[in-house]
Amino acid sequence: MPASYRTLLLASLGAYAIGAAVVLQLYAPGPWPLDMVNHAVGRDFVNVWVAGRLVLEGQTAVLFDAEAYQAALARLVHQALAPHIWS
């Protein structure tokens, strides 16, 4: 293996180790599927996923009622989920 490939491999493994440590630090302390600040892992995706579930359940109106939407988030994702607003 050429020295440049070995250097690239070692740099990649080091970056992977650092990235894994950062991910563990951010997500491991929280109750799954929440991170340590009670936001859902994949927080940008939560509104899209919950909206799809509500539409499939025939509850589209819940998207436009803030209190009902928060209740749906608690039911479908987690009770401790930080508030999200359907935009």
Domain ranges for the chain, please list them: 3-76
Q: What is residue 7's predicted lDDT score, i.e. its pLDDT?
A: 93
Q: What is residue 24's predicted lDDT score, i.e. its pLDDT?
A: 80
Q: What is residue 64's predicted lDDT score, i.e. its pLDDT?
A: 92
Burial (CB count <10 Å: 0-12, 13-18, 19+), residue 41:
middle
pLDDT, tens digit (0-9, with 9 covering 90-100), for 21-78: 988 877 777 777 877 777 787 778 888 999 999 999 999 999 999 999 999 999 998 8
pTM over 0.85: no
Mean pLDDT of 75-82: 88
Tokens of 75: 């039911």
Tokens of 16: 């992977």
